Structure 1
Amino acid sequence: MNAPLPAPAPAAAPADLVSRRVAGHSLEAPFYVSDEFFRLDIEAVFARSWIFAAAEAELPEPGDYITVDIGPYSVIAVRDDDENVRAFHNVCRHRGARILNDERGSVGNIVCGYHHWTYGVDGTLLHAESQAPGFDPSCFGLRAVHARTVAGLVFLCLAPEPPADFDEFASTVEPYLAPHNLPRAKVAAQTDLVEHANWKLTMENNRECYHCAGHPELQRCYFPLYNFTEDEVPPALRTTFARFRRADAEARATYESLGLPYAAVEELDTRPTGFRIEREPLDMAGESFTYDGTAAVKRLLADFPTARLGHLGLHLQPNAWFHVAADHAVLFSVVPLAADRTLVRTTWLVHADAEEGTDYDLDTLTGVWATTNEQDAVFVARAQRGIGSPAYVPGPYSPTESQVEDFVNWYVSRLKAHLETDVTAERKAERKADRTAELEER
């Protein structure tokens, strides 16, 4: 007879749940199902970290913009007249109206549709009708949001003081990404999928291949050996592992001959801007994420002498992962919508001059990852439903789920830092109130 499940732990405050987190195990249910944790995740993680927002290819010309919604925040990312990407809070400085209401578009100036306050694409206030004498437009420009671009990828940070390690992250990953010429690519396709699960389940699912038997299409071209050591490879994957060893030796020789960096750099839970990057082979033809591994796009992203370059994989905490092959790139971003709903946006980039129908077939280009996304949506929805049961008790991660542990460690450390900052601020406020009361008594 099976032993009875332990009784669910009593309700606890977020700080208590964070402090009692058991390493090597999944999180307790409130982390995934409670609205309180959803709000905390926005405040402590998404409003304080560098977030992947878009490809530069989504903003090809001055005046092109996208809007990004993160919890209660809305941000405009726009290409300015000097062709730099800038970002601003999507809030009019007059009476707070939402300014741009479309997901994307192009503007000459940024005009609020309520009272027509008009801003330049550099955020300066250009026109505000019928103001009092002495009104100074320079005091009412759009509130800026930190924006950085790295090798064609756009990152935003909502915090007044963003994590200071971004330069180190950028200098590490840019040499890997730069050969693929992503700033000069174009968007071939973009899809939005709402997963009925907490955003952390979406990210955890991405950080392991323990479930990859559920992705037969992906496994045709992608070696499903994520985090396996040679001793841990199960019997069913021994033939695949032997094939991987041969492909890996060939790929390393190619990378070295072309001067392409490929070694893994893994700092997933050791810094505020946690990341992992590595170049490695693909299976079958070894060229791309297609059903037979051949290139999906005839026109490669850059002037590579071969399409057989495997893929460059980049993981970024808290909300993104990327796969870049010789012929195209696939970018994934995650945005929390509610405690149990998450937006997964997938963007396919190809060479700017590649033509659909001539250089690539859209279904071939998107097929593997579109199918994989749908399968993952089913998996994480099942996880969400199970965690919502009173019978759920956190379970142990397998050794191949080490990057899930890294993600959860990183996430918990962000919450701890935020909660400790709040406690410190609260204590300072209490001491100030005590001193004020003492002075008043005197």
Structure 2
Amino acid sequence: MAAIDAIFAAPVTTPDIAPEKLAELQALVESRRPGFSLRAPFYTDRQLFDLDMRAIFGQHWLFAGSIAELPEPGDYITVDFGPYALILLHHDDGSVRALHNVCRHRGARILTEDSGTTGNLVCGYHSWTYAPSGELIHASAPGEIDFDAGCFALKRAHCRVVGGLIFVCIAAQPPEDFDQVAEIFRPYVEPHELGATKVAYQQDIVEQGNWKLVMENNRECYHCDGHPELACSLFPTWGLTDETVPHHLTDVWTRNLSASAALEQRCRRYGLSFEVVEELDTRVVGIRISREPLDGEGESFSPDGRRLSKKLLGDLPDFRLGRCSMHLQPNSWFHLLGDHVITFAAFPIDEGRTLVRTTWLVADDAVEGVDYDLEALTHTWKQTNLQDKAFVELCQRGAASPAYEPGPYMKSEYQVEAFVNWYITRLRERLQ
């Protein structure tokens, strides 16, 4: 076990950055103007992307999936964060293990499918075989000299499951405040009982944009006039205040305030957490979470706000619970409703491409065609994701232009500023 623990703690790094380039990157970080968007290289430069992989995705807790995606022992999913390839495997003891998807012989990818079921892990190149826990159990060939198989287990990443959400950290020493943040969001998430859900649908979209543009776009609703399907149920006044609501949204703002008061009463009656907790750039594991009303009937993301599945999740007492909305830095956001849950994750590919994965979860006893219509369940966010893809790609193309320069954030974009401030702070820490 000592050898396995050593493998577990081994740091994994990206290639070194040349000293002259490092000085250039440090100057870029220090030149960031608060309240303004980032300079173009943050979205277009390959070596800055490599720094992101080291300083952000190689150091911090990342959302990777949900327990509904690998419900039984032996089930697995594979995920890639830039150069890091991981296997998430549901172990026989009920835990989830995170293993680097890299054979210890000559580095071949071991599992090549996005998901499946497996016993031992067998590399398809030379049949090196690993136990589900990562130990090397077979690497023999005629005439070979014996070697210490205990020194060639698969490298591990840290893995935590909280409320049915799976998080991984590649760093040798993960950020220490994750447990504190988990205790913040646990009471919001646990009533939805993700362990008793199943995947109704999963959508993968490759956006031709840097991962930070994906996250910035998600962190504001200034652009929500471009989401007509979502505007049916999601109040387009998100992020606004009495002082910043434009005249054409006055009626919507009034309706939102009334719905918020009614939702707060229901949450107090049922003992559900609803208060806003916003620590997006004041923690290493940045978070924002709250329970917020939906328009119309206030039940789900439908044209009239009515439920999209007949099955309540967990032991929730009411469909009309709006949405529990959570943002976690650096790569995820979530909507938890009475009838279904939607998880979103950004997986960087390179400096100009990001995989955005959206997963719809429903109660595990919900029957498609009886309890929910799949097209109706997924319609709003399928369309919204395609619209967001177009917005991100417009920004990526603009950032590549010599005419681009950072522009000011509006007051309603304060969460974008918080994300960028969190990001710059993390880079500064790493560069120092």
TM-score (norm 2): 0.93
Alignment match, 1:439 = none
- Counting only pairs closer than 5 Å after superposition, residues 9-408 of structure 1 correspond to structure 2 as 13-130=24-141, 135-408=147-420
Alignment match, 1:428 = none
SS in 2 for 1:96: coil
1:201-229, Cα deviation, whole Å (9 max, x unpaired): 11001000111111111011001122211
SS in 2 for 1:307: coil
Q: 2:146 and 2:127 mapped to 1: Cα distance?
A: 20
1:156-203, Cα deviation, whole Å (9 max, x unpaired): 111111111110111111011000001221000000011111111110
Cα deviation for residue 128 of structure 1 reads: 2.0
Contact 2:301 2:380 in 1 (8 A): yes
Cα deviation for residue 42 of structure 1 reads: 1.0
Q: 1:224 and 1:81 mapped to 2: Cα distance?
A: 45
Contact 2:89 2:96 in 1 (8 A): yes
1:256-288, Cα deviation, whole Å (9 max, x unpaired): 010000001111011111111100110001000
Q: 1:302 and 1:365 mapped to 2: Cα distance?
A: 18
Cα deviation for residue 387 of structure 1 reads: 1.5
Cα deviation for residue 103 of structure 1 reads: 1.3
1:46-78, Cα deviation, whole Å (9 max, x unpaired): 111101001111111111111111222211110
1:124-175, Cα deviation, whole Å (9 max, x unpaired): 2222213856533333221111000110110011111111111011111101
1:268-327, Cα deviation, whole Å (9 max, x unpaired): 011111111100110001000111111100011123232000000000111000000000
Q: 1:78 and 1:170 mapped to 2: Cα distance?
A: 21
1:347-394, Cα deviation, whole Å (9 max, x unpaired): 000000101000000011000000000111111111111121111111
2:428 matches 1:416: yes
Q: 1:139 and 1:389 mapped to 2: Cα distance?
A: 50
Contact 2:68 2:197 in 1 (8 A): yes
Letter in 2 for 1:53: A
Letter in 2 for 1:169: V
Alignment match, 1:423 = none
SS in 1 for 2:430: helix
Letter in 1 for 2:129: T
SS in 1 for 2:109: coil
Cα deviation for residue 118 of structure 1 reads: 1.3
Q: 2:68 and 2:120 mapped to 1: Cα distance?
A: 20
Alignment match, 1:434 = none
Q: 1:37 and 1:293 mapped to 2: Cα distance?
A: 43
**Aligned residue pair count:** 410
Task: After the TM superposition, list the runs of 4 or more consecutive aligned residues in structure 1 that deviate by more than 6 angstroms.
Answer: none
1:66-123, Cα deviation, whole Å (9 max, x unpaired): 1111222211110011121001111112232221111111101111112212111111
Percentage of identical aligned residues: 54
Alignment match, 1:425 = none
Q: 2:130 and 2:396 mapped to 1: Cα distance?
A: 43
Contact 2:196 2:314 in 1 (8 A): no
Identify unmatched segments of 5+ residues in structure 1.
1-11, 421-442
